[in-house]
Amino acid sequence: MAQKPSLPKGTRDFGPAQMLKRDYILNTIRSVFKKYGFMPLETPAIENLSVLTGKYGDEGDQLLFRILNTGDFLKKTSAGDYEEGAKALSPKIAEKGLKYDLTVPFARYVVMNRGEITFPFKRYQIQPVWRADRPQKGRYREFYQCDADVVGTGSLICEAELMAIVNEVYTQLNFNDYKVSISSRKVLEGLAALCEVSDKFTAFCVILDKLDKIGEERVAEELSTIGVSSQNLEKLKELLNTTGSNQEKLGTFREAFVNSEVGLAGLDELSETFEHLKGLKVTTDQIIFDPTLARGLSYYTGIIYEVKPTSISMGTITAGGRYDNLTGVFGMEGVSGVGISFGIDRIYDSLEELNLFPETNSDITQILITNFDKESEAHALGILAKLRSKNIKAEIFPEAAKLKKQLNYANNKGIAHVLMVGSREIESGEYVLKNMETGDQQTATIDALANLLS
């Protein structure tokens, strides 16, 4: 009868040790979001496929998890549908799916609640999403996204605030070895104009994005295949090799973009964002104007940014940008927004690799009360109640057991203190307190103990 249970590919359990660390990260981010005026939103895991499909491209559509209609799901089908194959049958037997990201459900929420929302609307959302991707190291089929967005305003203060959030989150996590790359889709458009390949914008960006990986020469080769002249390649090369501060680089670009209205607009927006950052007293040492940054260009229309660790090889840990038309696909035009997304799994792995998780965790039981016999149990329960009434996280070993077993329990659970309660201690009113880390023992009354732990 008994079966050996297993987990679906690409899914994970988070046991207590992992959960405490994940909560440490998520609680930090959540508290910063709140401090900056973002409010929580949750949307269901299940969405109608009519909401999800067509929003993520063909590839995305294929990665949607589809939920079989309940009851007789073949009711509306015919043998002919079956013969046509899975692709034809699927929409007739599955009308709902699991959400693929937090953005499309957010757009749906905004459209459905437009009458009640006060704009600008600042929301954060921390929930799992699902993708039927091929699982591999660091890529899961069910994973959390952690997003904050402001919609309903084009103000670049929002961009600066999101950068300030990045700074505050990583400062609070004691994670300082990172770099923020910032640019704008409009800068890329300016570069394409400069190279006289505005009609091949996407191809141009794809090639430029490879600069880090394949180097200047091969990028030049590829750009020439899409029609960039050698003269323009020279101009581009010189521009991209500009050094200096962000302000200096923006100045050099301004000269080169003199004929590109969109390019200049992008530079103005970057300058204004840097101004706002100064106003917000955010140090910009780690924020670098990187004109080759090309991410999310199918939806981002303005400023874009990404955060990567500098001392370890981890990829992007946070990213975002401005989009012009969040809700257009649902018939509500003109809603501009800007967002940021923290990659929880990679932040977790980074803190782990850099040994940055705090040694103590305030979510763990502070003290275990031993249990040696029925006689001392009632007394021990009274001590437990007293400690808890002082808001101390405390527990009792629920059954009489050998000391070693109980110490082992405390040790494995990371409980810092064990209080010995036996008949001798009850009589004297002085209890032995063992510090599990140092092994030190001291005697104390319950009141003294409560003060020590509070």
Question: Binding site for L-histidine: what residues are annotated?
Answer: 101-103, 131, 145, 149, 295, 299-300
Instruction: Check binding of 427 to a second copy (CB under 8 A).
Output: no
Q: Where are the alpha helices (DSSP H) in 113-229?
A: 157-172, 185-194, 201-208, 211-225
Closer of 74 and 356 to a second copy (Cβ): 74
Partners of residue 46 on adjacent β-strands: 98
Closer of 171 and 310 to a second copy (Cβ): 171
Instruction: Check binding of 1 to a second copy (CB under 8 A).
Output: yes
- 421-424: which pairs have CB atoms within 8 A and are 24 or more residues apart? 421/369, 421/370, 421/371, 421/372, 421/376, 421/379, 421/380, 421/383, 422/370, 422/372, 422/373, 422/376, 423/373, 423/375, 423/376
Cα 20 to chain centroid distance, Å, stands at: 16
Q: Which of 57, 68, 174, 315 touches a second copy by CB under 8 A?
A: 68
Closer of 126 and 207 to a second copy (Cβ): 126
Instruction: Check binding of 241 to a second copy (CB under 8 A).
Output: no
| Residues numbered 338-367 forming contacts with a second copy, rule: CB under 8 A | 363-365
Question: Is-contact 316 308, C-beta < 8 A?
Answer: yes
Least Å distance, CB 44 to a second copy, is: 4
Residue where the block lists tokens 């890529």: 139
Instruction: Check binding of 135 to a second copy (CB under 8 A).
Output: no
Question: Is-contact 451 365, C-beta < 8 A?
Answer: no
Closer of 46 and 312 to a second copy (Cβ): 46
Q: What is the SS3 assignment for 441?
A: strand
Partners of residue 6 on adjacent β-strands: none
CB atoms within 10 A of CB 119: 13
Instruction: Give the range of 231-239, 242-250, 274-282, 299-307 binding a second copy by CB under 8 A.
Output: 274-282
Q: How far apart are CA 293 and CA 276, in angstroms?
A: 21
Partners of residue 435 on adjacent β-strands: 417
Q: Which of 57, 138, 215, 279 touches a second copy by CB under 8 A?
A: 279
Binding residues: 101-103, 131, 145, 149, 295, 299-300
| Residues numbered 76-105 forming contacts with a second copy, rule: CB under 8 A | 79, 82-83, 85-86, 89-90, 93-94, 96, 98
Closer of 13 and 359 to a second copy (Cβ): 13
Q: What is the SS3 assignment for 37?
A: coil
Instruction: Check binding of 40 to a second copy (CB under 8 A).
Output: yes
Instruction: Give the range of 226-234, 250-258, 293-301, 375-383 binding a second copy by CB under 8 A.
Output: 375-383
Q: Which of 24, 60, 61, 67 touches a second copy by CB under 8 A?
A: 67
Instruction: Check binding of 394 to a second copy (CB under 8 A).
Output: yes
Closer of 132 and 220 to a second copy (Cβ): 132
Instruction: Check binding of 172 to a second copy (CB under 8 A).
Output: no
Q: Where are the alpha helices (DSSP H) in 113-156?
A: none
Q: Which of 101, 114, 120, 237 touches a second copy by CB under 8 A?
A: 120
Instruction: Check binding of 35 to a second copy (CB under 8 A).
Output: yes
Q: Are strands 303-309 and 441-444 parallel, antiparallel or unpaired?
A: unpaired
Instruction: Give the range of 147-155, 293-301, 352-360, 446-454 binding a second copy by CB under 8 A.
Output: 147-155
Q: How far apart are CA 108 and CA 53, in angstroms?
A: 13
Least Å distance, CB 317 to a second copy, is: 21
Q: Which of 139, 218, 278, 424 touches a second copy by CB under 8 A?
A: 278
Closer of 8 and 429 to a second copy (Cβ): 8
| Among the listed residues 327, 334, 323, 330, the one whose alpha carbon sits nearest the alpha carbon of residue 296 | 323
CB atoms within 10 A of CB 190: 27
| Among the listed residues 124, 137, 118, 173, the one whose alpha carbon sits nearest the alpha carbon of residue 348 | 173
The interface mask with a second copy, positions 4-23, x = CB under 8 A, is xxxxx--xxxxxx--xx--x
- My answer on whether omega of the bond before 135 falls inside 30° of 0, hence cis, is no
Instruction: Give the range of 63-71, 177-185, 213-221, 352-360 binding a second copy by CB under 8 A.
Output: 63-71
Instruction: Check binding of 395 to a second copy (CB under 8 A).
Output: yes
